[in-house]
Amino acid sequence: MDDKHFDELLESVRDMGRHMRGEALAGAKLREFPEPDVKAIRERIGLSQTRFAYLIGVKPKTLQNWEQHRVRPSGPARALLKIVEANPNALSALYTQPGQATKGDTHLFP
């Protein structure tokens, strides 16, 4: 590896460290979603903790921790929760094949 590539690699490692410490990075734009009210979203849909956790791809204990504010959902989880909050039927789209009709599909919900 030549010096130029090594210096670029070293700078990217330093950028990663700054990012992990929460420091702002020049040119980096992050979209931070507000913390969702996970319990309210789940209750509005009418699902148990176990069923909702399964449908969004997390363990029930993780969901419980989110609902009790012991742990905050990660960025991708927040994005998914925001989508589900706006459109609960979006959960159906996660479990159907492309091109398969989902309108009125309620087999995922009680």
Q: What CA–CA distances, in Å, run from 1 to 7, 17, 60, 76, 93?
A: 10, 22, 47, 35, 46
Q: Model's pTM, two decimal places?
A: 0.63
**Regarding the domain delimited by 38-94, which CATH topology (the fold level of the hierarchy) does it fall under?**
434 Repressor (Amino-terminal Domain) (1.10.260)
pLDDT digits (tens, 9 = 90+) for 49-69: 999 999 999 999 999 999 999
Report yes or no: 87 and 41 within 8 Å, Cβ to Cβ: no
Helices (H), the chain: 3-20, 38-45, 49-56, 60-67, 75-86, 90-94
Place of tokens 């094949």: 97
pLDDT given at position 84: 95
